[in-house]
Structure 1
Amino acid sequence: MKSKIFHLKVIKIKSGCNFELSWENGKTIAAIVDYPQDLDQGYQDWKHAYINCYRDLRVIKIKKSGSIPSSKKDHAGFLREAEARFLSLFDRWLRDGELYEIREEIAKAATDSSSNRRYWVDIILTCNCPELTRLPWEAWEISTTTRTNLSGFGTIRIARVSNTIHAGISHDKIIPGIRRRARVLAILGDEKGLDFKEDRKALAHLSKLAEIKFIGWQPEKDSSTLKQEIVKEITNPRGWDILFFAGHSNETAFTGGELHIAPDASLGINEIKQSLQQGIANGLKFAIFNSCDGISIAESLIALGLPQVAVMAEPIHNQVAQVFIVQFLNSLAEYKDVHEALRDACAFLKDQQNLTYPSAYLIPTLFRHPQSVLFRLEPFGLGHSLRNWLPTKKEALWLSAWLTVSLIPPVQDLLLEFRLLLQAGYREVTQQVQWQANPSPVQSPVRLVQIDNKSLEQDNVKLVDGRYMDYGYLASILDKLVTSNARIIGFDYILDQDKQQPDNSKQLRQSITEAINRNTWLVWAAIEAEHPADYYGVSAQIANLNQTMEGDITTYDWYVELPSNKCDQSCPFSYLLVLSYCLRNQDSGTTQLAMGLPELQDSNQKFR
């Protein structure tokens, strides 16, 4: 899914903040707004309520702050109240009129009417101080007075970026796509007060898509050996795609963040800086820290050149961390990118777990390198290639239904007719029809004798009762054709008026008998119908259908009717003429049977 990318810089200068939005081709919008002093207090109140609400956090030490007394009994209710007040202050600040153009530009990108597919509107956010970085930017509801509902196909999402990025990064290494089984290095840190059972189970869900290597503290392993083992695995020449950490962590002022890997040992990001750079050079694309206070960790890793890092911006409860990682990895296993997977997990916490874990959806956040492409697991292997050709469940249901319907004979005839129509059109366009492919005149075996008013006037013939053809006149035409040695003769005229002209009918019958004696095949016109009352055909007083044939003359202007597989009872008139010609010129019983007609054994064979 494609995305539109904006870069938003928010710089705090004394009591104000400078907002600068930039996007394609160097376009920029800048605005300066006052920074509300009560926003910091709102954050502190919310965080204090958050810490009081949750216990057993994935952190070693919590610094108490704020003015809210901890003796409040309904901690969850108090947290919801503090969250609502804090988000209201945050939203009011971002709705300042000076930021209207910035909000409008982003909202316009999310309602692009020229796009008919889903797309992302990515905002890559840079903040210059911890006070701004800690704000819940992901909860920013971007709208304007003219665009209160972002009903387009664009979905806005916000990722953060470190304020300082190493200038010597080789950006050609920041390529997330892989076409093989992913490799995951999972580091399980100090388990004091925690339970990694759900973390292990969630990672096991990726086992079919990724090779997972677990490493962590064991009672018999000393901390120095563990550190060396971690460094060795990070720099593994085979490389890793994902680095996963679960346990306790803290922010630090000078070491880039701290991971507690054992009860008596911690590991600073700066301590393993060179190892991490080597891991990035070997292909490390994404890291996730399912632990507390990870902002400084993420900023340090992004500064080193790691494409994306997911962390918890605040202390995280052990159970919340387990719920989050399950949802995150489930979405990742569906081949969603890491930002969409993080959004799915946060949405799950907000929509389905907010009563149990209030404010938890505000904690996870994603840092990304501004030049990186979001990482996702890619399908791989022969099995996936074959699955790409398999129908989806909905497609399979439709396919089964169509296959079942296609077994019905009338449907088969209908499908065959469409195919023949396409083939006929193709043959005509590509000039495969004989009269087009061979422009030289070809002597046709067909002679069309048309009886019109001019013919009747020349032969001084009058219509019987003003509308019926004189059967005596037809008899004379038949006699002349037989004398001319015509082998097959078809009359495209229904001969059912024998009672209106008995003498002429008798004369025509004599001519028919003479033609049959001279081995001439005759085909009469008829209008076939299922009900006898709707049938019109040659009268039995004129021709014997045991010695002659009768074909249906019902036609459509644009449609050629196909005969049924057994058309000895009812065949199209023109089809009988052509078939008779083929049979008369090929003395082969096999050909006759293949045509769907019985062999001619004697003159009494019924041919209708």
Structure 2
Amino acid sequence: MEPLVILNLGQGDCRAGLPNITAQLWLTGTTGAIKCVGWLPPAPTLPDIYQRWQRLYQALHHRLSWQNSSSTRALQFDLTTPIHVSSVDFDQLCQQLQSTLNQWLNSEGFQSIDRQLRTKLSTAEPVRIIVETDDPFLQSLPWHLWSFCDDYPATEVAIGTQEYNYATGPQSASAQKSMASVRVLAVLGHGEGIDVQRDIAILQQLPGATIQLLSEPSRPELDQWLWDTDSWDILFFAGHSTSKSADQQGRLFINPTESVSIAHLCNALKTAISRRLKLAIFNSCDGMSLGRALVALNIPQLIVMREPVPDRVAHLFVKNFLQILAEGTPLYSSVRIAREQLQGLEGQFPCASWLPVIFQNPAETPFQWPRPKNVLTSDAPGPLWVRLFKGAQPPPSRAVNWQRVMATSLLITSLIMGLRLVGRLETIELRAYDQLMRSRPPQPPDDRLLLVTIDETDIRQQSPDERRGASITDAKLDELLTTLAAHEPRVIALDLFRDFAADAKYPNLVNSLRTNDRLITICSFGETSVGAGIAPPPELPQATIKQRVGFSSSIPDRDDTIRRAVLMETSPADSSCPAGLSLGFLAVLRYLKDDNIYLSWTDENRPKLQINQVILTPLDNHTGGYHTIDDYGHQIMINFRPQAQSAKGIQVAQQISLEELLNNPVDPRLIKDRIVIIGNIDASFKDFHRTPYTQSHREKTSGVEIHAHIASHILSAVLDNQPLVWTWSQWGDGLWVLGWAFGGGVLVGQLRFWFRGVLVTGSLVILLYGSCYIVLLLGGWLPWIPALMALMGTVAVGELPLKLTTAHVKE
């Protein structure tokens, strides 16, 4: 069982404080618990912020439901809710709520618990956290926003009460049987305005499940089915519900004329729980009151929606959750994954991923979907290990049919390369490429670069009025450029948009922008449909603008990951950005100029960029695993500098913050003769991107670091003879794939025992991966996934006649 944390908040509330908090931690493989204590001070503003968030959510949800013609699973709205609400205001309120909650949980009295958990738990473990409290407000808080859940990405939080008991008494005979299938009682309530048919379709696709559908049942009918003696594993409700009834109890609208509370079904539910009911799912609105009422009956687990939920959100959550759970994933992990997958809908339905909530009875273990019976069990004679290694009866030995092997290999290779050519394999190939990139051994930070970063602390210490919407004031920038210039960097690359004039009271800054040929700034082309881009600083003379302005060169792939860089591009006619080269590339050229190394073109029909002997071959629409990209400009793959993970993520070069540089003595060697790239890393500027090294939201890379990776990549190629990323032609890739397909076909013809075949096939897969890895260390991107598919395809196809032959021999 995965690690478990029970966080008992004790007595008190948010306004008065929580003086006696107890945390108990059960680690994997242990029976005893680790216990630690703490406290939380009063947080009087948190309830007000949450209640305001709740009112604005309901208003925004109501408005968006009409705009998007989206149904909702609630029949009532709070009449005190404001009618008009700005999406921007709501986003800011969400951030304020998250920030206030984490400031509270970062209080000194709670740190003893936080530190103990972080010391004992691994970030790779799926951790269950149960927050025990009887306070309705504390139960309603979005605990998944706790920063601990971000740092431990497999963690999910549930709500529990401070009093609970075992759910079951003496079990019935049916409950004691191992579950051959999961019995689900699916109640489809009043369906006006929502699509309950989709809920039915989702349930019917569940493997190993027996579904009993009740469509708009009467109260007696529902009560009777809950008493069913065969017992239920899951109770599922889809329809309308509310917590805003006159009796302040959660109510389920089971048909157009009837609604029931949990109290109305109390005896039937108690009986179902005592027999076998392990999980209830209320895929309906505003379910917190329902959750509190069911928890009082000691139900093991319950999943509800904390607020009104749009129909699309409800369908997507239950579809993903049940599919993941049925695959054998633990319940808490299934909820977290399905909840996070709702984030894709938050452009239309804000806070969709905040809605699902788990209620947990701490005395019970989480529900686990039953696994199918062991397929290795059979009536064949002999011990299991003998059957594994030798098989019940080996097929006869046979010679390789070379014609058949070649024909099969050509057919499978043609099919795979055809799918590849139309882009069907692009996503999986890029993910495999990312995995290989992450596997490379680390390199030290590039000592030719220095990153000066502007973080949240730096920004808070500056006047917003003086910043004028930027991340640095003219005064700080003037001081920074003066400090850097004193230590003689080769290049200063300013990754900060400045389309406004510097204040005249800073003549040194104005002069640096105007005359310092070692200072490079940035602009953006923008998009024709939305504007003319972002212009460079107006102080720059037109005569030198091409040599001193670079464009922002991020090109995300379809999965929003940056793997490519544009080095050169023609500025659009209607753009206010006149640059022709990217910022990182321009910084490299200015750096190499001091070594008398210049950019040139190859002497070919289709010239390529060249620096010394290094030719920067541009990508085209069919390069490596790419087959659907827009190959505009002069693009290359970014050979990200491999670096071991640290607290600051992937470090391409040494970093120093703005305030640290200006307020503390700095080693001149960090600056002299280096490319100094200045950029902000504050999350509010939203300049963070996925790269091949990104495996979670917290591992995204800032834009200034991506410019540094591009610069380091080209400098290492020109000065250190490190390879650029190269690929074969499509014909070369095809021959490589054909070779592995042919190898798989030969393998099947020579092996007589299936388990030995598995071992040899596994060894070939490892050899394939190792070959692709070693070639990537030399810069080569080989088609790993197509070759793997070809190898396994010929093995699978070749096994068919072998099995038929074996069956014939047995007869």
TM-score by length of 2: 0.43
Mapped contact 1:255–1:269 kept (Cα < 8 A): no
Structure 2 residue aligned with 1:51: 58
Mapped contact 2:127–2:156 kept (Cα < 8 A): yes
The answer to whether structure 1 residue 212 and structure 2 residue 211 are counterparts is yes
How far did residue 35 of structure 1 move?
Answer: 2.4
How far did residue 163 of structure 1 move?
Answer: 3.8
Structure 2 residue aligned with 1:273: 266
Structure 2 residue aligned with 1:165: 164
**Residues 45-83 of structure 1 deviation map (CA, whole Å, 9 limit, x = unaligned):** 2112211221343222222446xx4223x4x33322221
Matched letter for residue 130 of structure 1: P
How far did residue 125 of structure 1 move?
Answer: 0.9
Matched letter for residue 75 of structure 2: I
Q: Distance in 2 between matches of 1:385 and 1:250?
A: 50
How far did residue 234 of structure 1 move?
Answer: 0.9
The answer to whether structure 1 residue 330 and structure 2 residue 294 are counterparts is no
Identity %: 25
Q: Secondary structure at the match of 1:237?
A: coil
Q: Secondary structure at the match of 2:236?
A: strand
Q: Distance in 1 between matches of 2:247 and 2:177?
A: 33
**Residues 98-155 of structure 1 deviation map (CA, whole Å, 9 limit, x = unaligned):** 211111112123228xxxxx53222111122111111101221128xxxx955xxx83
Q: Distance in 1 between matches of 2:269 and 2:376?
A: 32
Q: Distance in 2 between matches of 1:410 and 1:282?
A: 52
Structure 2 residue aligned with 1:449: none
Q: Distance in 1 between matches of 2:263 and 2:750?
A: 76
Matched letter for residue 95 of structure 2: A
Structure 2 residue aligned with 1:572: none
Q: Distance in 1 between matches of 2:740 and 2:300?
A: 43
Matched letter for residue 259 of structure 2: S
Mapped contact 2:58–2:78 kept (Cα < 8 A): no
Structure 1 residue aligned with 2:106: 95
Structure 1 regions of 5+ residues with no counterpart? 113-117, 219-225, 416-608
Q: Distance in 1 between matches of 2:5 and 2:751?
A: 59
How far did residue 277 of structure 1 move?
Answer: 1.3
Tell me which of 71, 76, 83 is aligned to 1:61. Answer: 76
**Residues 211-262 of structure 1 deviation map (CA, whole Å, 9 limit, x = unaligned):** 11110227xxxxxxx1111111111111111100011112268685321112
Mapped contact 1:49–1:79 kept (Cα < 8 A): yes
What does 1:426-575 correspond to in 2, within 5 Å? Answer: none
Q: Secondary structure at the match of 1:155?
A: coil
Mapped contact 1:349–1:360 kept (Cα < 8 A): yes
Tell me which of 122, 131, 145 is aligned to 1:125. Answer: 131
Structure 2 residue aligned with 1:81: 92
**Closer/same/farther in 2, CA of residues 375 and 191 from structure 1, 3 Å limit:** same
Structure 2 regions of 5+ residues with no counterpart? 27-31, 63-70, 379-383, 389-427, 429-737, 757-811
The answer to whether structure 1 residue 227 and structure 2 residue 233 are counterparts is no
Matched letter for residue 380 of structure 1: P
Matched letter for residue 202 of structure 1: I
Q: Distance in 1 between matches of 2:133 and 2:163?
A: 10
How far did residue 193 of structure 1 move?
Answer: 2.3
Q: Distance in 2 between matches of 1:78 and 1:54?
A: 14
Q: Distance in 2 between matches of 1:292 and 1:134?
A: 14
Mapped contact 2:167–2:274 kept (Cα < 8 A): no
**Closer/same/farther in 2, CA of residues 300 and 178 from structure 1, 3 Å limit:** farther
**Closer/same/farther in 2, CA of residues 237 and 129 from structure 1, 3 Å limit:** same
Q: Secondary structure at the match of 1:366?
A: strand
Q: Distance in 1 between matches of 2:236 and 2:109?
A: 41
What does 1:267-416 correspond to in 2, within 5 Å? Answer: 267-350=260-343, 352-380=344-372, 404-406=745-747
TM-score by length of 1: 0.56
The answer to whether structure 1 residue 258 and structure 2 residue 251 are counterparts is yes
Structure 2 residue aligned with 1:184: 184
Q: Distance in 1 between matches of 2:112 and 2:739?
A: 49
Q: Distance in 2 between matches of 1:62 and 1:51?
A: 7
**Residues 275-315 of structure 1 deviation map (CA, whole Å, 9 limit, x = unaligned):** 11111222111110001121222222232122111111122
How far did residue 320 of structure 1 move?
Answer: 1.4
Q: Distance in 2 between matches of 1:3 and 1:255?
A: 37
Q: Distance in 1 between matches of 2:151 and 2:41?
A: 27
Q: Distance in 1 between matches of 2:239 and 2:748?
A: 62
**Closer/same/farther in 2, CA of residues 210 and 278 from structure 1, 3 Å limit:** same
Structure 1 residue aligned with 2:231: 239
**Closer/same/farther in 2, CA of residues 409 and 299 from structure 1, 3 Å limit:** closer
Q: Distance in 2 between matches of 1:100 and 1:403?
A: 57
How far did residue 26 of structure 1 move?
Answer: 5.4
Q: Distance in 2 between matches of 1:50 and 1:42?
A: 12
Mapped contact 1:335–1:377 kept (Cα < 8 A): yes
Structure having the higher Rg: 1
**Closer/same/farther in 2, CA of residues 407 and 306 from structure 1, 3 Å limit:** closer
The answer to whether structure 1 residue 16 and structure 2 residue 17 are counterparts is yes
Mapped contact 2:281–2:303 kept (Cα < 8 A): yes
Q: Distance in 2 between matches of 1:128 and 1:61?
A: 26
Q: Distance in 2 between matches of 1:171 and 1:122?
A: 28
Q: Distance in 2 between matches of 1:21 and 1:182?
A: 34
Q: Distance in 2 between matches of 1:180 and 1:256?
A: 36
How far did residue 170 of structure 1 move?
Answer: 3.1
Matched letter for residue 58 of structure 1: R
